[in-house]
Amino acid sequence: MSDHNAVKTTKMNYDKDRPKAANPVKIEDISLRDGHQSLFATRGRTEDMIPVAEMMDEVGFWAMEVWGGATFDTMHRFLNEDPWERLRTLKRYIKKTPFSMLLRGQNLVGYRNYADDVAKAFVDRAAANGMDVFRTFDALNDYRNFETVVPKIKENGKHFQGCICYTMTEPRMGGDVYGIDYYIKKAKELEDMGADSICVKDMAGLIAPYDAFDLITALKKAVKAPIHLHSHFTSGMSSMTHLKAIEAGVDIIDTCMTPYAYRTSHPAIEPLVMTLLGTNRDIGFDINKLAEISEKLETEVMPKYKHLLDDSKVSTIDINVLLHQTPGGMLSNLVNQLKEMDALDRIGEVYRLLPKVRKDLGQVPLVTPTSQIVGTQTVNNVLFDETEGEYKMITGQVKDLCYGLYGKTSTPINPEVQKKALKGYARGEEPITCRPAQVLEPELDKATEEIKGLAVDLDDTLVYALYPVTGQKYLRWKYGKEEAPKEVMPRSMEEAKAEEALLAKVKKGLIRDTTQDAGELGEGSRTFKVKVDGEFYEVGVEEAGGTPVIDYVQQLVAQMPAAPAGGMVAPMPQAQPAAAPPPAPKAAAPKAAPAPAKEAASVEGTPLLAPMPGMVVSYAKNVGDTVEKGDTVVILEAMKMENALPAPVDGTIKAIDFTSGDNVPKNAVLCVIG
Ligand code: CO
């Protein structure tokens, strides 16, 4: 550690003599992206950012993260907001501070690799709409997935921040795969690509303070670009980690305003300002100004959102992260998944098998989407395999990973698993070794053609190209072709307060399920889903004469999407294969369900049952088609992973009860073969 980096304190009168520090720590505020993504299911609305926007612009942040990650998805799907418009609107209030976004490499702001033409157009439009810093990551740290977007970022004159996803296989940094050499190698690769800064992205809060010290020290020596640390609070270590990273000379730290801080989010800015006050790394921010912003958020914004906060536990940290070295969001997904299948008692087996499955799949870093890929496959193995390592039910995403569609894994994939996964795989049984997007056909012209008449400009077309199903639905709302449902409309403070009062009553047991006598709701009525002590309720609110009145409360059996933890999990991504879907099932899908009435159960023959609850993505066969045992009949999405379900017998499809987009319970009769 050089003297320059050592944190030195001086005695002084802070109010009068606070000098500008020699090497101030720079701060990126990430409240308006990762903050609400981590704590409030990414549901923050633009109108609730505006009250503090100008004040935040005055603070002196190095950048503000306001876009990217799950925001694009959530806004058009759940908030009836144009994601592009948010950028333009915030830019009118935030004029001095650069904007930052989280870009998922070739996945952009979605969950699969998009074709190069879409990726290029997306970066151009993000830059044109006001984006300045492109924080770019790839789940496998395979930087070939940056090769299309980075030249575009540069061409637009914007800042390319390259990320290294921080992961581990041991309780602390080290081991065969993810030791300090790994990170130095990755940082040098990023520097060679022209990174303007390098971010250590610790999405699960895994990095321990002394490991951060060693890592940042080594990175500062190895590369010239400024080093940025992004470390979630999930496990409880990150405040300590920040301090050790600062002592090691880190240049930029991510923090949140207090109401958006801690839990699965990030440490707050105010304590860090006080910690460094008067040192040679003094951030230089006015703590009173920060307090004003936090207070405004707390009183004027948070009442509308706090129902989304996961209050199912008293503990604010997740010790499981420390025990299992896996992201908190991933573990809570596994628990939910097992619960849905009535198999929560097998969580121990899942914990035991998880490292083995991860090893089989190339020791991938555990970050969206790889954390779900490894997690879901582990659950499938625990539930469906008769012998360990059988891989009886391999998800579509594992097949894609084995094919090379996500990129190169850190260690080679177990060849036996790979062979099994690729047997009969639509793209071919031989895995690719090239840059994944190289095998993707251009998509933009096709999307433009499909959405013409509805999309007005390229921004609209991109909403559709990224999210075909929900994107089209949103554009129909946007242009008045269809009325947006009430649940995507904003909630007023009055509604929020009325609901809070109601919840207090529910908690005291003063109100029980009143669905029976709720009757028909009037014109101005709206329904909300709320969570009390881990249980979900639907609440009907009627605005009679402007004052919202609670109509009914109904406990829901089906769960709302779990609040994403650790900024890891985006809410309910729609069914999309990791790459362009093979043509056959797509053509068959629209005609697939001629009989929506649930009558297949009464048709004679062998039923194909849903092995787990999920959503029907598509049928590969129609009624009347002949199938051989083992042919894929239906693709079922469960916990965001696609499962190809094979015909149990030879025969003819006699009846199909569901269609693309239908949610089905476990053991639903998906079709009958006779
Ligand atoms: Co994050």
Contact 151, 183 (CB under 8 A): no
Please report the pLDDT score of residue 589 as a whole number: 33
Closest of 290, 274, 270, 291 to residue 282, by C-alpha: 274
For residue 485, whether the previous peptide bond is cis, meaning omega lies within 30 degrees of 0, is: no
Contact 460, 451 (CB under 8 A): yes
Please report the pLDDT score of residue 346 as a whole number: 94
| Lowest-confidence region among 194-208, 249-263, 399-413, 601-615 | 601-615
Helices (H), 177-237: 180-192, 209-222
pLDDT digits (tens, 9 = 90+) for 381-432: 999 999 999 999 999 999 999 999 999 999 999 999 999 999 999 999 999 9
254 CA to middle of ligand 1, Å? 9
- Give CA separation, 424 vs 374, 403, 421, in Å: 21, 12, 8
Q: How confident is the model at residue 554 (pLDDT cuts 50, 70, 90)?
A: low
Q: How confident is the model at residue 571 (pLDDT cuts 50, 70, 90)?
A: very low
Q: Please, which contacts does 453-460 make with residues 24 or more away whose CB atoms are closer than 8 Å?
A: 454/479, 454/481, 458/121, 458/125, 459/82, 459/84, 459/125, 459/129
pLDDT digits (tens, 9 = 90+) for 617-664: 889 899 999 998 888 899 888 766 778 888 889 999 999 989 887 888
Sign of the torsion angle spanned by Cα atoms 389, 394, 398, 399 = positive
334 CA to middle of ligand 1, Å? 20
pLDDT digits (tens, 9 = 90+) for 434-465: 999 999 999 999 999 999 999 999 999 999 99
- pTM, two decimals, is 0.81
Cα separation of 308 and 449, whole Å? 39
The tokens of 339 are what? 């619960």
CA dihedral 477, 478, 480, 485 (to 10 degrees): 30
Give the residue-averaged pLDDT of 332-338.
83
Contact 563, 41 (CB under 8 A): yes
Give the residue-averaged pLDDT of 557-579.
35
651 CA to middle of ligand 1, Å? 50
| Comparison of pLDDT for 310 and 511, the residue scoring more | 310
The tokens of 284 are what? 């230089």
Contacts of 288 (CB under 8 A, 6+ apart): none
495 CA to middle of ligand 1, Å? 30
606 CA to middle of ligand 1, Å? 47
pLDDT of 2 over the 80 cut? no
- Give CA separation, 263 vs 205, 260, 314, in Å: 10, 9, 11
Domains contained in the chain, CATH given: 167-177+185-250 (no CATH), 326-439 (1.10.472.90), 444-486 (no CATH), 491-593 (no CATH), 599-673 (2.40.50.100)
- Give CA separation, 164 vs 137, 190, 195, 568, in Å: 7, 9, 12, 15
pLDDT of 180 over the 60 cut? yes
Give the residue-averaged pLDDT of 202-210.
95
pLDDT digits (tens, 9 = 90+) for 474-518: 999 999 999 999 889 998 888 888 878 877 777 676 665 544 444
135 CA to middle of ligand 1, Å? 11
Backbone phi, psi, residue 54, to 5°: -65, -40
- Give CA separation, 438 vs 12, 262, 334, 399, 425, in Å: 60, 40, 33, 18, 18
Backbone phi, psi, residue 20, to 5°: -70, 130
Contacts of 550 (CB under 8 A, 6+ apart): 498, 499, 502, 539, 540, 541, 542
pLDDT digits (tens, 9 = 90+) for 281-301: 999 999 999 999 999 999 999
Report the Cα 398 to chain-centroid distance in Å: 18
218 CA to middle of ligand 1, Å? 23
Share of the chain above pLDDT 90, in %: 66
